[in-house]
Chains A and B, each alone.
Chain A
Amino acid sequence: MSILKLENVSYAYDGRNRVLKDLNYQFEKGKTYAIVGRSGAGKTTLLSLLSGLTSPTGGKILFDGRDVQRIDRYQYRSRYVGVVFQQFNLLPHLNAVENVELSMRASGKKIPEKRRRATDLLDKVDLDEGLAKRRVLKLSGGEQQRVAIARALSFDPDILLADEPTGNLDLTTQEEVMDIFSRLAHEENKCVIVVSHSPEVAASVDEVYELASLRQSKKRRKG
């Protein structure tokens, strides 16, 4: 049973510049996915559609069988989908722990010991306590990316969407991050969708969707 399903999804900016056309993808829990493609292929647009930040201009996206357009998309984003943005989108006036805590509070879920959970998550992405208490603007790009990953995981979402999550990480950390994603999918039954142009990332996931430039796309099953 797919947790996310794209049915003939199309998207065009300003109603004319079509970026995506008739996509029919399915994403299941317990698996990792990679969406790959060249620059301008619409990877980030697809991630925006999957995260409910925008709506398709054609077709529909089903979450757990329900049309995302017809459900409360704020609740969808805050409770069910954790997003790691390419630009991290952290709040600069808060420190790393507070950014993670904020997402937990925003979810409205009853999460005990938020501070401890935030610290643990940051520790998991290799950010020690000293860095965790720094304002995010004082962290490097890689460190900010790890904070963004910790934030996306903080409220235990069913789906994890990540836009180039390893772009600012060294190879070792990349592997560690991808290991975390794998564990989340395989051990905690999450659906992890990664947008990336990294061959290493594509190689480490269960399934890869390749977005053809402009209108062509195909599914490449690993095996």
Chain B
Amino acid sequence: MLVIINALKSISRSMGRNILIGIIVLAIAAASCVALAIRNAAKEAEAAGIDQINITGAITVDRQKMMEGIQTNGRPDMDAMRKLMAEYPDLSLDELLVYAESSSVKDFYYSSSISLDAGDSLEAYSTESSADSSEDSGGFPGPGSFDNRQGGGVVIQGGTIGMMAMGDFTLTGYSAEQAMTKFVSGTATIVDGELFSFDSEELTCLISSELAAFNGLSVGDTITLANPNDAEETYEFTIVGIYTDSSSSQSSDQPRFSTAMDPANLICLSYQALEAITQNSASVATAGTDYMGNETSTAVRGQLASTFVFTNLEAYESFAIELAASGLGEYYTVTSADLNNYQSSLLPLQNLSQFATTLLVIVLAIGAVILVVINVFNIRERKYEVGVLTAIGIKKPKVALQFVAELACVTIVFIILGAGLGAALSVPVANELLTSQIEQVQAQADAQNTNFGRTTGGGPMGGGPVTTIGGPGGTMMSVFGDTAEVSYLDQINATINLPIIGQLILIGIILTIISSLAAVIFVLRYEPLKILANRT
């Protein structure tokens, strides 16, 4: 009681000194409050965002890891690499379906793509002078397909098709609506007719509005396509719908190796229908050998792309553990472009959070030093008071406690005021800082894109690493495939809540202890008689 009464009296009678300490504490509290609010909001936004996104992923071969594992003299041994690749074949649909049974997997969908030539009455859409690009060398096309490619989550399967001729069109068969990601996201829209049935083997399809206009086609018309390896093997499709694809016009300036790579020449159908084509093609195919002696076939083969959908991050991670434990092989891995994109989108926020943490540490360190210095001077000034109090019989620890209590009272009051000020400032300051961080990250990305001769506007991360296997066509996909735009989180709710207030109180206590430690040491060292005698 004595300590409290003395402390309060001392505070009220030495307002100037306490206001000076208070202003410093106020500044520390306000800055700490803003920094803590930013950190907290960043953490919450990250957690909330990860809960909201639907994580999709795919089982891929980690070629990077593979190359690292077979390096000799600092360079990958390509023979060993080829051998190793043969040991890690693409998983078949049946194998993938087994993994899709996992309790971690919420949904599983897939698509398969083939390339066919135009029949007699049809011409592939092209903005170039010659539309005929058949017999081009190279692998399988398909940059514009509406498949479930998700950057890092892509598996292009189909075995060795290296020398297979490329057709004019890409045909992609989808297992479900979810697999048609551009339609799901709204990039592509059916403008005429309707969607084909996923359960039907009937050769019904959707074609692009560009292709329809180019050939004067409409819903209900039929088109004929042929096997690029065997012109006699033809398939007749009924157009059930026409779609527009806003991304196809954006990517029209990109170089094409084939008209089949033009999104306008993508024909969508059900997986069942596509499977019927490949099965029929296999049954009528003729076998042969190429100039290297490898076996060849005229059959069209589909490249499979599959996507696993996970409820949340936890399910995704547990699926990765399950996969590793299944004994599939150390280079098979689960990757998710959603996750990569999401993590990229958090970059400004993480920078901001890091900045807030640094600010917090600096503010606290400088604040603590200033408070210690002020308190040391304060105690030296009040040496006489210490002498009198101890001379009339108040024990030194009590006197020290009184000084601590004074500082604690001032600190608490100004921490509350600082928290109020910080609460008012945290939201606008946090968003302002976040905006500048986004601008900085975007400027860096734009500069990088410009340096590489790319048009700006895409996300800096380009949708994350795309791992494709199955031939050079797959690689082209990753090179010229549409870059995923990273949508940065540009608003955070940096408000003050109970945990932050708790942290501020903790900061107040720590600051009080550190800064009053000097006071305590000084008080305990003083001898009343010496102080009073010196004064005399």
Contact = CB atoms under 8 A, between A and B. Distances in A.
B535 A106 contact: no
Contacts of A83: 391-392
Chain A interface main SS type = helix
Chain B interface main SS type = helix
B14 A105 contact: no
B1 A105 contact: yes
Given A87-B535, A91-B385, A93-B13, A76 B393 contact: yes
B284 interface: no
Interface string A48-86: 100001100000000000000000001111110001011
A107 interface: yes
A84 to B, nearest CB: 11
A77 B385 contact: no
A105 B2 CA distance: 6
A75 B529 CA distance: 16
A54 B529 contact: yes
Contact of B9 (A87, A89, A90, A98): A98
B362 interface: no
Nearest to B390: A74
Interface residues of A, number: 25
User: Most chain-A Cβ atoms within 10 A of its Cβ — which of B389, B392, B536?
Assistant: B392
A57 to B, nearest CB: 14
B532 A85 contact: yes
Contacts of A107: 393
A79 B385 CA distance: 20
Contacts of A85: 391, 532
B393 A77 contact: yes
Given A105-B2, A106-B394, A89 B388 contact: yes
A91 B388 CA distance: 7
Contacts of B395: 74
A48 B529 contact: yes
B387 interface: yes
B448 interface: no
Contacts of B390: 74
Contacts of A48: 529
Given A74-B394, A89-B388, A105 B5 contact: yes
B463 interface: no
B536 A75 contact: no
B529 A77 contact: no
Contacts of B392: 77-78, 83, 89, 102-103, 106, 151
B10 interface: yes
User: Most chain-B Cβ atoms within 10 A of its Cβ — which of A74, A75, A86, A107?
Assistant: A74
Interface in B389-409: 389-395
Contacts of A169: none
Contacts of B13: 93-94
Contact of B536 (A87, A90, A91, A102): A87
User: Most chain-A Cβ atoms within 10 A of its Cβ — which of B5, B9, B14, B391?
Assistant: B391
A197 to B, nearest CB: 16
B354 to A, nearest CB: 46
The 5 closest A-B pairs by CB, nearest first: A78-B393, A77-B393, A93-B13, A53-B529, A105-B2
Given A87-B532, A90-B388, A105-B2, 9 more contacts: A74-B390, A76-B393, A77-B392, A89-B387, A89-B391, A89-B392, A89-B532, A94-B13, A98-B9
Interface of A: 48, 53-54, 74-79, 83, 85-87, 89-91, 93-94, 98, 102-103, 105-107, 151
